[in-house]
Structure 1
Amino acid sequence: MLLEKLRLLECSLHGDKRNDREWLELILHPEFREITMSGVLVDRTETISSLLSEKTALYILSSDFRLTEMGRGCAILYYRTSYADGIRPALRSSYWLCSDKGQWTLLFHQGTPAASTA
């Protein structure tokens, strides 16, 4: 099931793999871009550098995954995150592309602070 496959790939970037250069270079499309939660547009090189420089990674909780297939070999994954202590809730979207060889890569990601529900 595609939703589960992309969920696992996405969540791999929330754990130990986020400090693995080889994995990041494999999973992030060469034209990868991200709009960060602070509203800054960054590219693949900046993202990899930032992730590799993290000293301690906070555990990220992810939930409410939804998938929209845009056509053959491309899909958008939507979900929610927060840190384990509940701070920094966010709405996230990721645009994934599948190569002719069946390798999914992340082309675009955006994290937006979630509106308060309190």
Structure 2
Amino acid sequence: MRMNAMLLEKLKALECSLQGPKRNDREWLEQILHHEFTEITRSGMLIDRAQTIESLVGEVCALTIFSSDFRLIRVSDDAAILHYRTINADGSRPALRSSCWECSHRGQWTLVFHQGTPEAVSE
């Protein structure tokens, strides 16, 4: 159980690094995104690693994003899925997110897959 808590904190920090200043850092993105990384964007588009890196490096003014409700599913010793919620600082664009992480033989966790889906509004 303790190992899962430690892994949750590690992956949470890596995930949140992609929402901060490192979001525009090409070197960091090339290090953290798995060579076969793909993403299904919040708007439903499938994009690859190169498209993701170019998009993030080219962002001029990224909005502040708040993340919460992190949950970890340990798939194996070297694979995990992270589920969480995000919302922009202004309260807009709530989303449910999932990220699949893989650990290399050198102990480096990389992001293999990410999906963001608009959160349903309760009535």
TM-score range, shorter chain: over 0.9
Structure-2-length-normalised TM-score: 0.95
Q: Work out the percentage of aligned pairs sharing the same amino acid.
A: 67
- CA shift, 1:72, in A, is 1.3
Name the residue aligned to 1:105.
110
Name the residue aligned to 1:80.
85
Does 1:14 pair with 2:13? no
* C-alpha separation in 2, matches of 1:72 and 1:100: 11
Cα deviation 1:48-102 (Å, max 9, x = unaligned):
0000111101100000000000011000000000100110000000000000000
Match of 1:117 among 107, 115, 122: 122
Q: Which runs of 4+ in 1 moved over 2 A?
A: none
Structure 1 unaligned spans of 5+: none
Match of 1:47 among 26, 32, 52: 52
Name the residue aligned to 1:60.
65
Q: CA RMSD in A?
A: 0.6
Structure-1-length-normalised TM-score: 0.99
Cα deviation 1:17-40 (Å, max 9, x = unaligned):
010000000000000000001100
Does 1:89 pair with 2:94? yes
